[in-house]
């Protein structure tokens, strides 16, 4: 039986046919990553949930992907919002926070992507760098216009991530202006870019609690991260 994987999504204005209205949506690349790796993809739209709702929702899934998207609200980690920060999506922040907490408690396999890595760290009490150009001096991580940067990542030996991709990732696709700063409780840093920016984390003691700052859905010729999630979801099924 194929494992069922939930993917968090956006809620924003969009168009289809004659309608121009609020929609729940997600780029199809994420769905392709899950389905090509052997899973069934289910979109989870932003909505009001509490901890019990989150546990009940995850009880019907075999795995979870916390996808990329808008900046996490700075107030969630006790900071004032940077002038370059995007308008927060509080409903999505709430949903993902509850889902991450429940997934960790339930030992449900999950993969965070870009914002997903940041959301995981904030959930665990960590902080974010709100605008990377203030730290690295340029826009190397966010070139704009939908153009992904590509960099080599160094992966920590002995980590879950290294067991999947080895100790180096050669062509990671990047599109972000925020990043993990202080790691949260139980969050282990397992990959860096050449300038020392955190690029992947894992949850200590979790069988498959992994999040990467890059976008594996943009390089679907390499399905290793999605395949590893599907394999972990099958084990827990």
Sign of CA dihedral 56, 58, 61, 66: positive
Q: Look up 217 and say whether it is catalytic.
A: yes
> For residue 12, what pLDDT band results from cuts at 50, 70 and 90?
confident
Residue 8 has pLDDT above 90, yes or no: yes
Specify the CATH number of the domain 4-236: 3.40.50.880
Instruction: Specify the pTM.
Output: 0.96
pLDDT one-digit tens code per residue, 141-159: 888 898 999 999 999 999 9
Tell me, what's the pLDDT at 170? 93
pLDDT one-digit tens code per residue, 109-149: 999 999 999 999 999 999 999 999 999 998 898 888 989 99
pLDDT one-digit tens code per residue, 74-100: 999 999 999 999 999 999 999 999 999
Residue with tokens 């991260």: 225
Mean pLDDT along residues 188-206: 97
Mean pLDDT along residues 44-70: 97
Q: Look up 80 and say whether it is catalytic.
A: no
Q: How far apart are CA 45 and CA 94, in angstroms?
A: 12
DSSP output for 115-170: HHHHHHHHHTT--EES-THHHHSS-TT--STT--EEEEEEE-TTSHHHHHH-SEEE
Rounded to 10 deg, the angle between the 90-106 and 51-59 helix axes is 60
Residue (of 109, 106, 126, 236) closest to 179 by Cα position = 126
3-state secondary structure of 199: strand
Q: Look up 96 and say whether it is catalytic.
A: no
Active-site entry in 96, 98, 202, 217:
217
Mean pLDDT along residues 190-218: 97
Q: What is the dihedral of CA 2, 5, 11, 12, to 10 degrees?
A: -60
Residue-range domain boundaries for the chain:
4-236
Round the average pLDDT of the chain to a whole number and report it.
Answer: 95
Mean pLDDT along residues 34-58: 98
> For residue 237, what pLDDT band results from cuts at 50, 70 and 90?
low
Active-site entry in 73, 96, 114, 202:
114
């Amino acid at each position: 039986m194929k494992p069922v994987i939930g993917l968090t999504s956006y809620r924003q204005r969009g168009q289809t046919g004659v309608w121009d209205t609020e929609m729940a949506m997600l780029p199809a690349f994420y769905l392709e990553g899950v389905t090509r790796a052997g899973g069934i993809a289910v979109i989870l739209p932003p909505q009001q949930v509490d901890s019990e709702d989150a546990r009940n929702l995850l009880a019907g899934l075999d795995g979870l992907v916390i996808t990329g998207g808008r900046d996490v609200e700075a107030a969630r980690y006790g900071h004032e919002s940077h002038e370059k920060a995007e308008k927060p999506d509080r409903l999505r922040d709430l949903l993902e926070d509850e889902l991450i907490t429940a997934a960790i408690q339930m030992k449900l396999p999950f993969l965070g992507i870009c914002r997903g890595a940041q959301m995981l760290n904030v959930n665990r009490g960590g902080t974010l760098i709100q605008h990377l150009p203030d730290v690295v001096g340029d826009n190397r991580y966010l070139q704009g216009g939908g153009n992904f940067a590509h960099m080599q990542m160094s992966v920590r030996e002995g980590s879950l991530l290294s067991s999947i991709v080895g100790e180096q990732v050669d062509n990671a696709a990047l599109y972000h202006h925020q990043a993990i700063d202080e790691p949260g409780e139980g969050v282990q840093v397992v990959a860096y870019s050449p300038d020392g920016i955190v690029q992947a984390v894992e949850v200590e003691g979790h069988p498959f609690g992994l999040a990467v700052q890059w976008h594996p859905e943009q390089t679907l010729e390499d399905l290793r991260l999605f395949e590893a999630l599907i394999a972990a979801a099958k084990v827990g099924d």
